[in-house]
Structure 1
Amino acid sequence: MHFRSQKKTQSEVSLSETLDSDGQGNPLQLMDVVGQDDTMLEDLHQRDAALQLRHLVATALTPREAELIRLRYGLGGSLPLTQREVAATFKISRSYVSRLEKRALEKLRSNFQ
C-alpha cells in the first residue's frame, strides 16, 4: 500500500527543489532556472510594432521627415540627437525642427494601426 501512494507522487516536482549549488555554495533551485514571467507575446507585439513603425517611416514620410525622425529618435542604431543638433545638421532653426517633428509624428500616428 505504501508503494502505491509513493508512485502517485513520483512525477511531482517542487519548484523549491534544489538542483545543484553555485560556485559560492548557494543552492540553485528549480524556480531559479524556470522563467517566471512569460513575456513572449508582449515581445512579439513590440517587435511587430517596431517593424511596422520602420516601414511607416520609410513609406509615409518624406525623405526629409524620415531622416529627421531617424536622427531625433535614434532609429537605425544611432544615438538620438537633440533638436539643436538636428537643426545644425539640417541648417534650420530649432523651432522649425520642432514643427517638422510634430508634423511627422502626426503622420505616423494617423497611419499606425
Structure 2
Amino acid sequence: MHLRRERKAPLTLSMQEPIQTSKDGSHLTVLDVVPDDFLLDEDCECREESSRLRTLVQQLTGRERQVILLRYGLSGQPPLTQQQVAQLLGISRSYVSRIEKAAVQELRAQLEPTR
C-alpha cells in the first residue's frame, strides 16, 4: 500500500535537477528556465541596498550588465528566463548561464563586505 501511495504522490523536483543535457555535457536545470527575481527592489532589505546594487550593476562589463538587467528585470521589464535572454542577445543559453553566474558572484562579493 505504501508504494502505491508514493507512486501517486506528486514528485518533488530539485531546482538543480538537470532537465536537459547538451552535446557538450552542460546541463539545463529547472533553476535556469524559471525567472529569478531575488534581486528585485521589493526583496531588498532597504533602499540603500537597492541603490548600492544598482551602482554595482552599472560597474559590470557591458554583456554582464545586459544579462543581469534582463534576467532580473532591473530596468523596468519583467524578469526573463535564460533562454529568453539568449534569444534576445543571439547567444546560447549556456553562455547566458556562465555570464550570469560570474556576474552574480561578482555582485555578491562586492555586497558581502558591507553586511
Q: What is the Cα deviation at residue 104 of structure 1? A: 0.3
1:88 pairs with 2:112: no
Provide Cα deviations, 1:84-103, integer angstroms capped at 9, x if missing partner. Answer: 00000111111111110000
Q: What is the Cα deviation at residue 77 of structure 1? A: 1.2
Q: Mapping of 1:7-26 within 5 angstroms?
A: none
Letter in 2 for 1:82: T
Larger radius of gyration: 1
TM-score, normalization by structure 1: 0.58
1:103 pairs with 2:102: yes
Letter in 1 for 2:103: A
For 2:77 and 2:45, how far apart are their aligned partners in 1? 23
SS for the counterpart of 1:81 is coil
Letter in 1 for 2:46: Q
For 1:64 and 1:92, how far apart are their aligned partners in 2? 11
- 2:75 maps to 76
- Structure 2 residue ranges without an equivalent (≥5): 1-43
Provide Cα deviations, 1:14-53, integer angstroms capped at 9, x if missing partner. Answer: xxxxxxxxxxxxxxxxxxxxxxxxxxxxxx9511110000
State the superposition RMSD in angstroms: 1.5
Q: How many pairs were matched up?
A: 69
For 1:93 and 1:82, how far apart are their aligned partners in 2? 12
- 1:22 maps to none
- 2:46 maps to 46
Letter in 2 for 1:47: R
Letter in 1 for 2:106: K
For 1:88 and 1:45, how far apart are their aligned partners in 2? 33
**Relative contact order higher in (CA < 8 Å, ≥ 6 apart):** 2
